[in-house]
Structure 1
Amino acid sequence: MSDESSVEDGAATRATGEPRDQVWTVPNLISTVRIVLIVVFVVLLAGRHDGWAIAALIGAGVSDFLDGYLARRWDQVTRLGRILDPAADRLLTLAVVIGLAARGVIPWWLTAVLLTRDAVVGVALLVARARGAESSQVTLVGKAATFGLYVFLPWAYIAFLAEWPIAWTVFFVGTLAATVLYWVSGVGYVVDLVNRSRATVPPAGA
Structure 2
Amino acid sequence: MEEPRDLESKTPPEATARDLPVRVSSAVWTVPNVISMVRIGLIGVFGWLLVAGYDLWAVGALVAAGVSDFLDGFLARRWQQVTVLGRLLDPAADRLLTIVVVIALALRGAVPWWLVAILLARDAMVATVVLVGRTHHVSTPQVTFTGKAATAALYVFLPLAFLAHDRWDGVHVAAIIGACAAAGLYWISGIAYVRDVSQRSHSGTIGASARRGQEHLG
Q: Same fold (TM over 0.5)?
A: yes
Residue 169 of structure 1 pairs with residue 176 of structure 2: no
Residue 37 of structure 1 pairs with residue 42 of structure 2: yes
How far 1:15 moved relative to its partner? 4.4
Unaligned runs of 5+ in 1: 1-13
Q: Residue 7 of structure 1 corresponds to which residue in structure 2?
A: none
Q: Residue 209 of structure 2 corresponds to which residue in structure 1?
A: 203
How far 1:129 moved relative to its partner? 1.9
1:95-130 Cα shifts (integer Å, max 9, x gaps):
100000011111111100000000000001111123
Q: Residue 10 of structure 2 corresponds to which residue in structure 1?
A: none
User: How many residue pairs end up in the alignment?
Assistant: 192
Residue 104 of structure 1 pairs with residue 142 of structure 2: no
Aligned equivalents of 2:138 and 2:52: distance in 1? 42
How far 1:50 moved relative to its partner? 0.5
Unaligned runs of 5+ in 2: 1-18
Q: Residue 16 of structure 1 corresponds to which residue in structure 2?
A: 21
Residue 184 of structure 1 pairs with residue 188 of structure 2: yes
Aligned equivalents of 2:200 and 2:26: distance in 1? 20
Q: Residue 9 of structure 1 corresponds to which residue in structure 2?
A: none
Moved more, 164-173 or 25-34: 164-173
Alignment partner of 1:85 out of 87, 90, 94: 90
Aligned equivalents of 1:145 and 1:42: distance in 2? 22
TM-score by length of 2: 0.84
Residue 122 of structure 1 pairs with residue 120 of structure 2: no
How far 1:93 moved relative to its partner? 0.3
Change (3 A) 1:22 1:133: same
Aligned equivalents of 1:34 and 1:74: distance in 2? 20
1:18-38 Cα shifts (integer Å, max 9, x gaps):
422111111010000000001
Aligned equivalents of 1:172 and 1:50: distance in 2? 18
Q: Rg larger in 1 or in 2?
A: 2
Moved more, 90-99 or 126-135: 126-135
**Which secondary structure does the structure 2 equivalent of 1:119 belong to?**
helix
Alignment partner of 1:136 out of 135, 141, 157: 141
Identity of aligned residues (%): 55
TM-score by length of 1: 0.89
Aligned equivalents of 1:26 and 1:105: distance in 2? 34
Answer yes or no: is the 8 Å Cα contact 2:158–2:176 preserved in 1: no
How far 1:173 moved relative to its partner? 2.2
Amino acid at match of 2:41: V
Q: Residue 11 of structure 1 corresponds to which residue in structure 2?
A: none
Moved more, 163-172 or 52-61: 163-172
Moved over 4 A (4+): none
Amino acid at match of 2:155: Y
Amino acid at match of 1:199: S
Alignment partner of 2:99 out of 94, 98, 110: 94
Aligned equivalents of 1:15 and 1:196: distance in 2? 22
